[in-house]
Structure 1
């Protein structure tokens, strides 16, 4: 803005000098002197190639055609300013009083070219600025205010080319009116086409003089475009820095984003596809930090309250804050189109192998607290929700304090790590949920009753869904309390070998269901599923290949035939693809079980025969011992008793032999 004020001021002074010499100097001489003086002031080549027409009444003025102010030699895109005509009007009252006051400056078809070189040089750094900045520190001379009642620009154009960023901003069809009074507020109203987008701008700067001197000034800006509007009402300073109320309301942001050379992403419903609005207190500090307080964000029908702080960083900015609201809508399937995210799974083709783009994780670091009353979408309703999201150099950690869901609670941690490839880790527990609404929303299955809990600890590594699922490692468990399966009487079907035990009014009740499982290489293994019920039980074991989307699982119901009766066990094998599994009696397993039972029975019979033969031989041995020793051992005689009897007989026999020996001598 300094260079604009400087140019306008020099133009005004030159106009006064030129008009003062009107009666004595020819018009072409006026043009030559004016161009020379302006060139010296700006340190640029200045030319007035057209006619110069002075006027004396009712205003003192001059009109110059073919105005050109050059850019530095290193700029090849064109002059700094080129206009078909420039006219100035000065009231006689200002001339007589010595004021520098201009009624009107009119620029016809001006073309302005600003360029920033790759090495940081800028084309609008005028010689006057360099002299002012580099000169010795002397006491500043008293400056005189320059008042410009009106500046009119018609059919203007503007270009800004930044070689350091590759950014180009082009403004065409510029029609504007500016007011720059000496001591009052500065105003601007106009229309233009910016990078192909038609805009209408109205702005008021309360104290431009104070702003140029380093103080703050009131600033009111209104911007309108096809499909939206933006308003700012606050204070600003040159730093740049500002603070005030911001309001943005748009049904179409494409025109505004086109100014920056960007395009609006294809947002899903509930995330600003049809309407996006933001209101709140915004602050930009001299240090470059940005702050939003009392923010109110509207995304279609979703309304959130924001408090955010943005701090620039060497590699990426840091965003801290809180997001609260009554309702947050999640994208539903098919609500957005566009590039593949790599998350879809076709039952016929398996998991997607489209690479998952996680580059967005490196756009910023963040520490965000999310607290909403409920989250809706994808057939699921959750709430209340209280979680903390931490994003650090491409690693996102969701610390879930509490998510109320289906009468229960979800808690734990979920991590998405984009460093050196993608990895995903979960350590969560879902406790005390109502199974009926959960299964109804997730799987459109409304026949399961009861409550249950599940815990998961899983880790996956891979840059697409197929690789992630095939790499899963971890463990988990689930437990269900008393409940029922409506529309099916499993006990009746097996007990009576009749598949008609189904339909309305019948159900399978159970007391509990429990299972533990381990996951390795994307394959879930379980061998301890147990459903306990008054009518019997169901056990299960098998594998679920998560990566291949197949399973091989055996369920073995054990149904009591009657009070105190034996259990009837008919194993059922569930195998094949998830999309169309095969469910059939496991006859092979039945045959194996029958063979095993028969082998066990034969083994028991053989063991019984061996035991009987051992008992017979033992009895025969006792009989012979009793006959030989004159004892009366039987099957009830203990080992200790037998030992005592034998020891007594041995002593008696020894005494008899000793007496015979003594008697013989």
Structure 2
């Protein structure tokens, strides 16, 4: 038994020794294989390993054959075998014969493909350019026709020559901390892209290419990735599927579609983009917006067609400053001063964010602002937009079913509302603004029909001060270097007609009743209550900011209110004179004695409305009230006898 156990232990020990020997032999074989391969590689690359000029010449020839770029190096060229075979070449410059592309780099590092190396050939699988400075002419063709890429571009599609060139191997290019200056003969502007850290993976001419990495433009870091299904087809002028993504603080962009280069550049696909601030984004390209407003929090998605210098966006979904639109837009002249046109529709168009950026209308003293205008119309793009809105809001007012037209051209802004519903009525208007750098000139006209004045008053003042159905027209023009100067130059005419109207807080009917019975108590009785009237008319002739009130009249079955005077628009003040008269035949009260002496007219209540627009004062004609007092009238009769030139009856009946 013990002998059997001893035999088994001896067998196990022998097995372990054999396994260790086998493992050692395997490791030795692997090591020997590596040494042999290394020896083969060293022997094959010996001509380049010990000759920098031969190494440099071989690399330059490969780059020239593939890209057509002439290569010059002025530094050391070192071949490194381990851990990966690669070459380091210092102070390298590249240039194409036409000068469309120039590259200078202090260090080129190229990694070789192993299999060709074992066969005695140096073929670069990937290359890295460190701190490369590039100058790129966007109008040129940097790959000459005697290079592999040039021959592939010149080959006709679906031919034997195209098939041969498509099979040529390329590789992977890494740009590390590079920069590129982009120029064009058609534009004086140059664009500098810095901190370029990207990888271009294009391993075969006929295969897909991928670009991924980051760059810096106008101090903004941009992460980018692009995939091109057939880059060689683009070189031949054909189309290729493409996807592109950009991520930057000012822009997030994603596109996918089909790209072509002949007969001109064109793209057809889908685009999605967001930007927190459009003004900041346009400023990167030295562009500006022709309209007021923040233009923040923008989200865009659309079917996009770009052809050469023009772009069209259909099936558009646009969010901007809290507004949401659908429709179509088109842009012409993308490389110069673009022209934007299109039609948009929205359920709610809020103008409040855009009106907030307009120059201040009033100053801290409550008067018109004296802050000078500051416009830059020379930078404005041309617009031609049509917008339809179920609701158009410019707080605190709101229109419904509004059609809006916005046009800018040569520093002039044209705004039009061809049709809109306004407070149960209809509104249409047009304004033309000429914008110089420090001056605003305008012309405007508007028409109202059947506007509910009570609803309008509720929005304007927070309470129903006025009521009725308003129909009117206005034609105005003016200009100035600030709001105060502009208001003092307004010229034009306004005509207003009101049906079934009312005035809250002014009890004229009650005042006339007190006038016949207790005229001295009228001042207290007139405040509060309301005045109803069937129709009213008002005409304003405006000259140099002063509006003269003509043909002012309110009348009902029980009273007639005539008024006139003027309002100074520049000074925001009013000086109105009014006479309220009861309609004959409706009052059964006896006429006061002094009324008979004035020609038998009904008693009148005269008052003035004077002061600032913000706090006008109603001032009754106290003298006429005392005349209507039975107790005081005899005193005035005696005085009128003693005064040969008393007030005429005409003056007593005219405002």
Same-fold call, TM > 0.5?
A: yes
SS of match in other structure, 2:232: helix
Q: Aligned to 2:315, which of 291, 294, 313? A: 294
Any conservation in 1 of the 2:179–2:194 contact (CA below 8 Å)? yes
1:86-101 equivalent positions in 2, closer than 5 A: 86-92=109-115
Instruction: Indicate the residue corresponding to 2:234 in structure 1.
Output: 211
Instruction: Indicate the residue corresponding to 2:78 in structure 1.
Output: 52
Q: Aligned to 1:308, which of 315, 323, 329? A: 329
Query: For each residue in 1:397-433, what CA deviation from the matched residue of structure 2 results, as whole angstroms up to 9, or x when unmatched?
Result: 3343211111111114322234796431122111111
Instruction: Indicate the residue corresponding to 2:271 in structure 1.
Output: 246
Q: Aligned to 2:574, which of 542, 551, 565? A: 551
Instruction: Indicate the residue corresponding to 2:180 in structure 1.
Output: 158
Any conservation in 2 of the 1:156–1:175 contact (CA below 8 Å)? no
Deviation for aligned residue 1:539: 1.0
Deviation for aligned residue 1:67: 2.9
Q: Could you tell me how far apart the structure 2 residues matched to 1:576 and 1:509 are? A: 25
Instruction: Indicate the residue corresponding to 1:576 in structure 2.
Output: 611
Any conservation in 1 of the 2:290–2:408 contact (CA below 8 Å)? no
Deviation for aligned residue 1:531: 0.9
Instruction: Indicate the residue corresponding to 1:401 in structure 2.
Output: 418
Q: Aligned to 1:106, which of 83, 105, 128? A: 128
Query: For each residue in 1:45-72, what CA deviation from the matched residue of structure 2 results, as whole angstroms up to 9, or x when unmatched?
Result: 72151332154x8986534344334799
TM-score, with normalisation over the residues of structure 2? 0.73
Instruction: Indicate the residue corresponding to 1:283 in structure 2.
Output: 305
Query: For each residue in 1:594-636, what CA deviation from the matched residue of structure 2 results, as whole angstroms up to 9, or x when unmatched?
Result: 989956579xxxxxxxxxxxxxxxxxxxxxxxxxxxxxxxxxx
Instruction: Indicate the residue corresponding to 1:534 in structure 2.
Output: 557
Instruction: Indicate the residue corresponding to 1:30 in structure 2.
Output: 54
Deviation for aligned residue 1:529: 0.8
SS of match in other structure, 2:456: helix
Any conservation in 1 of the 2:449–2:470 contact (CA below 8 Å)? yes
1:192-591 equivalent positions in 2, closer than 5 A: 192-226=215-249, 229-238=252-261, 239-251=264-276, 259-260=284-285, 272-273=295-296, 275-286=297-308, 288-312=309-333, 316-331=337-352, 335-336=356-357, 341-346=358-363, 348=365, 350-360=367-377, 363-418=380-435, 422-496=440-514, 497-501=521-525, 506-559=529-582, 562-563=587-588, 567-586=602-621
SS of match in other structure, 2:454: helix
TM-score, with normalisation over the residues of structure 1? 0.72
Any conservation in 2 of the 1:19–1:61 contact (CA below 8 Å)? no
In structure 2, relative to structure 1, the CA distance for the partners of 1:583 and 1:19 (3 Å cut) is farther
Q: Could you tell me how far apart the structure 2 residues matched to 1:529 and 1:376 are? A: 32
Deviation for aligned residue 1:296: 0.9
SS of match in other structure, 1:471: coil
Query: For each residue in 1:537-593, what CA deviation from the matched residue of structure 2 results, as whole angstroms up to 9, or x when unmatched?
Result: 211101112123222211222246933655332322223332343432245899999
Deviation for aligned residue 1:175: 4.4
Most deviating of 84-93 and 471-480: 84-93
Any conservation in 1 of the 2:47–2:54 contact (CA below 8 Å)? no
Q: Could you tell me how far apart the structure 2 residues matched to 1:364 and 1:58 are? A: 59
SS of match in other structure, 1:441: helix
Deviation for aligned residue 1:314: 11
**Aligned residue pair count:** 564
Q: Structure 1: 5+ residue runs without aligned partners?
A: 1-17, 133-137, 603-665
SS of match in other structure, 1:351: coil
In structure 2, relative to structure 1, the CA distance for the partners of 1:461 and 1:167 (3 Å cut) is same
Any conservation in 2 of the 1:39–1:46 contact (CA below 8 Å)? no
Instruction: Indicate the residue corresponding to 2:596 in structure 1.
Output: none
Any conservation in 2 of the 1:101–1:148 contact (CA below 8 Å)? no
Deviation for aligned residue 1:329: 1.0
In structure 2, relative to structure 1, the CA distance for the partners of 1:333 and 1:60 (3 Å cut) is closer
Q: Structure 2: 5+ residue runs without aligned partners?
A: 1-40, 149-153, 515-520, 592-601, 629-635, 651-655
Query: For each residue in 1:137-194, what CA deviation from the matched residue of structure 2 results, as whole angstroms up to 9, or x when unmatched?
Result: x999877344334333334343446795454423216243533432221111112333
SS of match in other structure, 2:415: strand
Q: Could you tell me how far apart the structure 2 residues matched to 1:514 and 1:526 are? A: 10
Any conservation in 2 of the 1:59–1:90 contact (CA below 8 Å)? no
Deviation for aligned residue 1:323: 1.4
Query: For each residue in 1:359-392, what CA deviation from the matched residue of structure 2 results, as whole angstroms up to 9, or x when unmatched?
Result: 4487333332211111123211111111333434
Deviation for aligned residue 1:513: 1.5
Q: Could you tell me how far apart the structure 1 residues matched to 2:625 and 2:522 are? A: 19
Most deviating of 230-239 and 79-88: 79-88
Most deviating of 356-365 and 459-468: 356-365
Deviation for aligned residue 1:206: 1.1
Alignment RMSD (CA, Å): 4.5
Q: Could you tell me how far apart the structure 2 residues matched to 1:254 and 1:27 are? A: 58
SS of match in other structure, 1:215: coil
SS of match in other structure, 2:46: coil
Instruction: Indicate the residue corresponding to 2:5 in structure 1.
Output: none
Any conservation in 2 of the 1:495–1:568 contact (CA below 8 Å)? no
